[in-house]
Structure 1
């Protein structure tokens, strides 16, 4: 993970960072022709945009951040990097998938390269069973809502994940060949007995955590205005919102975060990850995830009060809200411009909306009224049988997924030294990711396949500029 100084290094102010932070790394030199800060097309996050193409590109503070937030952000960063299984006050849950947040969100991006994972699983698996009472289902009775392949001494881990890939060859209309891969994720060495015969499962890869504060700041009415659940315009695309439960109030709210938009806020997304991924309790999720059939897990003495109190949860939430979006690159390059036009032409931008605008954010005015280029509508879309997991989540069906933001896509390899895309990381290239699109995106994929090779490459070059 980046050092704290590197993570906060591009704060564009004269204020000095707290004394316990390292000096920030020098920012990469701007292009010789024109300062990128003066090119609106490069500003993915408006005035919050940072200009960094290094391996620390996802860990920078908002460029316009108030200097007074340096210390609170650093406090949140420490909790994000903390190993909760070590030290005299270790509070790691009996069952988990990791011991620290950045174990999955490597450098505030996605997971580490597979070769570096060792015994760690490259994925996690969500579990549920259908319910007549709860829309989207309820946790699997033996293993809960998420399969945990790690544990503390004295408590058996729930088992292990085994992933195998089958290569699926195909051919473009112009005769060029391609290969995509289909994952087969198995739950092995089950420690607590068989899964329910009705178990629904979904393999997931971690998502980058930068830009979350900006997405949270987009007014709900603007997102709902993009929805077309009945496809009234007849374009074959019918994005719709996911309505989820606010863990604090119990009321329904618009979902924005997660692969199926199953969390309404950055704070709840963070609390849920602490609960399911690290086994830590919080004011939003005060109960451990041990099921009734996991006696040794339940027998472990719980800490007095939640593992994270409100102050700690607020601190991590602030850190996540002020992580900036890196600027686009090569925005005036002719090939990039051609690819951008093709992106629109084939229909990708129908769901991957190029622009959104934030509203007023009283507690973080740095996020207010920013023109964004996230390439998402934050809505659910049916992506077809090829990508379906068969597992509903709140109002999302088993074949619906939230449109993932594309900003920062071209820096995945620089930051995470790999390109693993789609919800389960199956796609190793931009082309593979496009070729898996189906359902509402089938038309866009078909038009992409019918492009000439140079045009397909131009569209991918545009994606690399994001």
Structure 2
């Protein structure tokens, strides 16, 4: 079927614009694609691929970013501590450093070979209606200052290759209907760019009534006064919200936006141990972390053979993958970081919620997102982590490879999955090569 592959390539070279074509041009029969992250694109460095600063940025103008990096990689301790800036950890938490869950060059280990779970995965505690557990609250905390954590989680593989999670060491049974809802920790590249996309751009692709009759019903996760864009369920509207949510739930650190410890009304431990301040993470520290994440660069594409890459891109579009994984987004005017103003970049997401079918439902509704709805995850950088021996894909890590993740798609993406399944081996190889390169 080699001829079919070249036919697709030739169609592309005479002007096929993919999902929008706005940033592409044809020069000397070669399609020249814009830089993955616009001005935020950087050459990939194996040992620090996901924590590099934007090139050509005068870091002296943004001292907060350097401080934010130190706060991000630091180990926080319980209060009272010798370092006032870095105390307040716990008394309930998962980890004592942001970097434990978001590594610089790969994904933190999630499902370990011995059946235990690592820092790369956490567990919400909710039911199909969105209720949280009356004793343990909204998220399982695996660390407790009194030495009695809420529990640990082990995993096994089900008969259909799905992942089954088991709660261990918990003296209190979960409320009826409450499930362990897994969430893999993502890479942080391009978070700042996604934060700077105007809501009008996100709403442009919303189609709750499927007016174009393509079977895609993407919708924005409308919060009280904003549109969610971060997290597997798009529960956070801004980078600030994502940061303080993780500080509170994952590290037991309070902030102005999240002033309470992550204890339920039935847990008294948060009233026993001393606080690291009111709040424990100052507004300036939150802003510094925000600055650090905002100027993280996006690794450039890694194209071995442009011909294969372009053919794979054409197949990505023709199979319907781009109906949800929107090729380009753009920022608006940015006062804090003018260099990021009006940038077109290539994350391959629409930041909308989509129904992914019953097999990917986790049985937990969260902040307006139903159990079978997931925000379209960005695809940039996937090829950098596949095959590192510990990275997994999808929200619960059931997929070991990019292809396995594709074959788990259902719901609105069922048609695209079936179309992919019918491709020849050469065509599949080209599409996968494209995904590994972006």
Secondary structure of the equivalent of 2:65?
helix
Matches within 5 A, 1:91-130: 91-107=88-104, 110-112=107-109, 120=118, 122-129=120-127
Secondary structure of the equivalent of 1:462?
helix
Query: What residue is the counterpart of 1:190 in the other structure?
Result: 170
How many residues align? The count is: 403
Secondary structure of the equivalent of 1:147?
coil
Identify which of 349, 364, 372 aligns with 2:337: 364
Taking the aligned partners of 1:278 and 1:220, their CA distance within structure 2 comes to 30
Which shifted more, 57-66 or 228-237? 57-66
Shift of 1:412: 1.6
Conserved 8 A contact 1:108-1:209? no
Conserved 8 A contact 2:365-2:371? yes
Shift of 1:268: 0.9
Conserved 8 A contact 1:102-1:108? no
Conserved 8 A contact 1:42-1:327? no
Query: What residue is the counterpart of 1:43 in the other structure?
Result: 35
Shift of 1:293: 2.4
Taking the aligned partners of 1:54 and 1:63, their CA distance within structure 2 comes to 17
Query: What residue is the counterpart of 1:224 in the other structure?
Result: 203
Taking the aligned partners of 2:317 and 2:181, their CA distance within structure 1 comes to 31
Q: TM-score, normalised by structure 1?
A: 0.82
Taking the aligned partners of 2:253 and 2:61, their CA distance within structure 1 comes to 26
List gaps (5 residues or longer) in structure 2: 1-29
Query: What residue is the counterpart of 1:452 in the other structure?
Result: 424
Identify which of 219, 232, 255 aligns with 1:240: 219
Conserved 8 A contact 1:59-1:107? yes
Query: What residue is the counterpart of 1:145 in the other structure?
Result: 138
Q: TM-score, normalised by structure 2?
A: 0.87
Shift of 1:155: 4.4
Change over 3 Å in CA distance of 1:289–1:237 after alignment to 2: same
Change over 3 Å in CA distance of 1:357–1:119 after alignment to 2: closer
Taking the aligned partners of 2:393 and 2:243, their CA distance within structure 1 comes to 22
Taking the aligned partners of 2:147 and 2:271, their CA distance within structure 1 comes to 9
Which shifted more, 87-96 or 401-410? 87-96
Taking the aligned partners of 1:241 and 1:265, their CA distance within structure 2 comes to 14
Taking the aligned partners of 1:108 and 1:80, their CA distance within structure 2 comes to 15
Identify which of 364, 372, 385 aligns with 1:391: 364
Conserved 8 A contact 1:108-1:208? no
Shift of 1:53: 4.4
Secondary structure of the equivalent of 2:223?
strand
Matches within 5 A, 1:400-415: 400-413=373-386
Secondary structure of the equivalent of 2:378?
coil
| 1:304-340 deviation per Cα after TM superposition (whole angstroms, max 9, x unaligned) | 3111010111111111111111111217522222111
Shift of 1:203: 0.6
Identify which of 170, 184, 187 aligns with 1:205: 184
Conserved 8 A contact 2:109-2:119? no
Shift of 1:115: 5.7
Conserved 8 A contact 1:148-1:159? yes
Taking the aligned partners of 2:259 and 2:291, their CA distance within structure 1 comes to 21
| 1:249-271 deviation per Cα after TM superposition (whole angstroms, max 9, x unaligned) | xxx21001000100000011000
Secondary structure of the equivalent of 2:42?
coil
List gaps (5 residues or longer) in structure 1: 1-37, 131-135, 169-180, 246-251
| 1:345-397 deviation per Cα after TM superposition (whole angstroms, max 9, x unaligned) | 11001100111111111111121111111100000000001111121122211
